[in-house]
Every structure is written in C-alpha cells, then in structure tokens.
Amino acid sequence: MHTTKIILIAFSFLFFSCGNKKTNSEVKSEINTKKETPITFKNKGHELVYNTVQKTGNYQTLAAKKDVVYTYSYQTPDGKTDISTEKYIFDGELSYGAYTKHERTLTDLKGKVEQGYDGNEYWLKNNGEIITDSAALKKVAFNRPTNFYWFCMIQKLLDPSVQYQFINEQTIEGTVYDVVKITFDGSNNKPKDIYQVYINKETKMIDQFLFTVMDFAKSDPLLMQLKYENIEGILIPTQRKYKASNWDAEVTDAPWIKVNWTNIKFNNGLQKELFKK
C-alpha cells in the first residue's frame, strides 16, 4: 500500500511537469511579449530630450525614491537671500518649504515662514500662525509648484503635455548643442511658458536653457546654466544661475542670480500630515 502511494505521487508529479513543460518557441514568445514597447518619437526634438532623460534618470526612477528633503538657497546680485528647507512627496507633488531667511520672498513677514501644498490647498504660516492674505497666498501658489518643478524639471520634460520642436545646432564657446524648443499643452487659455533647451551633443546633457515666466508676464527669456551632481544614481542640476538673455542665448555682463540645492536626501519617510496646515 505504501509503495502504491509513492508510485501514484511520482506519476502525478511526472504528469504535472510534462503537462506544463513549454517548448523553446513558447518560451521565446513569452520573453518577447515582456519586452518594453518601443518608443514612438513625435519628432527629432522628442528623441533628443528622451535620450537626455535616460542619462539623468527618468521620473519613474525619481518617484521610486518616494520623497526628498534638501536645502534651497536663492541669492540675487544685491546679496539678498532666501534659504529654505524644502520637502516633497513625489506622489501627488506635495510640497513644503520652511524659510529661515526670506529677504526676497514675503519680505514683510518676520521670523519663520512656512509654505505648503497638500494636494488640494496652498497655505502659509508665519511663526506658526495661519496667514490668509490673498496676495501672499498667490505668491505661495507660485513658489510651491515652481520649486517642485525646478527640482524635477529634467525628468518632467517627458510629460505627455510637452511638445517638442528641433530648432538647430548651435555652437557656443566651442561646445556644439542641439537646440530644442519646449512648449506645453493646456486646457485653459492662460499663456504657457516656453523653454528652449541646449543639449550638449557630446554629453547628451542639458547645459543650459532659456525660459519665460508668464505668471509674471515675462515673455523675454532668461538663461539658466546648470552644473550637475550625482545623487543616488540620479544626475541633479544642483548648481544653477540665471539672468536675462535673448532667444539666441546671448547674455549681458550683468551679474547672475544664483540658486543652489544642498544636503539632498531621498526616502525620508515623510508623512502626508506634514503638508497640511
């Protein structure tokens, strides 16, 4: 009886294995279906930007890090400075900034200034007290998404709403660039910003870009120049400077506005409660 059970079990195992054994052609077919769908590029500009984002690290790689905390420093040529601790959760683009120095932002407020976006509402606190002034909240509604976007900009250049136009090749101080114009689709009639990125043909990196600030009716471009740092496998433009320019990326001798990000740390376990007022 015992021997019969062993034979039946062995036979069952053999039958199961044979019944589920796949031919080489079936295995190859499964492997092929698991391959990523090839990218269909809208045009040359799209392909150039895509290749850049693959080098820096795409948004999926960034979002997989859950959240980020870093120190933001903004200094104008007259020496006035903003310094804040920025905190973001990538899922929902939640944003928080605690300003220990705000000589350029909300200068009428004294002491600690906190700004936040919880996914639905922008809010402002001064020394722990809620501020409801509409003019001040309008600045918060600009600062929070702008700071978040600057941090994620390279990755977000592949968002579905982005449109691309290859302009030309341009040589600047001995470096050859592919120049791509970036515009954005939108559901409302509000004027959208325009970006013009300069992709280094050798490194595939965006060394600089032109941009407008239509929220403040600035349609003449500013030129932003970038230096990158590798933070946990993602190339992040942590050193930035900008000033007025034209659409040929020519600048004057005027001094630069400088923006730096330091102490960048991912995966901090931030909770959504932090972003509520």
In tens digits, what is the pLDDT along the chain, a chain of 277 residues? 444 443 333 333 333 333 444 444 444 444 444 455 678 999 999 999 999 999 999 999 999 999 999 999 999 999 999 999 999 999 999 999 999 999 999 999 999 999 999 999 999 999 999 999 999 999 999 999 999 999 999 999 999 999 999 999 999 999 999 999 999 986 666 778 999 999 999 999 999 999 999 988 899 999 999 999 999 999 999 999 999 999 999 988 999 999 999 999 999 999 999 999 9
pLDDT value for 271: 97
d(CA 15, CA 10): 9
Question: 242: which strand partners?
Answer: 224, 257
Closest by CA position to 100, among listed 85, 117, 115? 85
3-class secondary structure, 118: coil
In whole angstroms, what is the distance from residue 73 CA to residue 241 CA?
11
Interatomic CA distance for residues 210 and 90, integer angstroms: 25
Stated pTM of the model: 0.84
pLDDT at 15: 31
pLDDT at position 37 is 65
Give the 3-state secondary structure of residue 10. helix
Provide the pLDDT for residue 181.
98
Contacts of 36 (CB under 8 A, 6+ apart): none
Whether the CA torsion 102, 106, 110, 115 is positive or negative: it is negative
> β-strands 81-89, 94-102: how paired?
antiparallel
Residue 208 is predicted with a pLDDT of 98
Give the three-state DSSP class for 253. Answer: coil
Q: Pairing relation of β-strands 234-244 and 257-266?
A: antiparallel
C-alpha to C-alpha distance for 240 and 152, rounded to whole angstroms:
14
Phi/psi for 6 (5° steps) reads -65, -45
CA 214 → CA 94, 187, 190, 221, distances in Å? 23, 16, 9, 10
Q: Tell me the C-alpha distance between 72 and 260, whole Å.
A: 6
pLDDT recorded at residue 191: 74
Helix segments in the chain, DSSP class H: 2-20, 24-34, 44-56, 59-63, 134-156
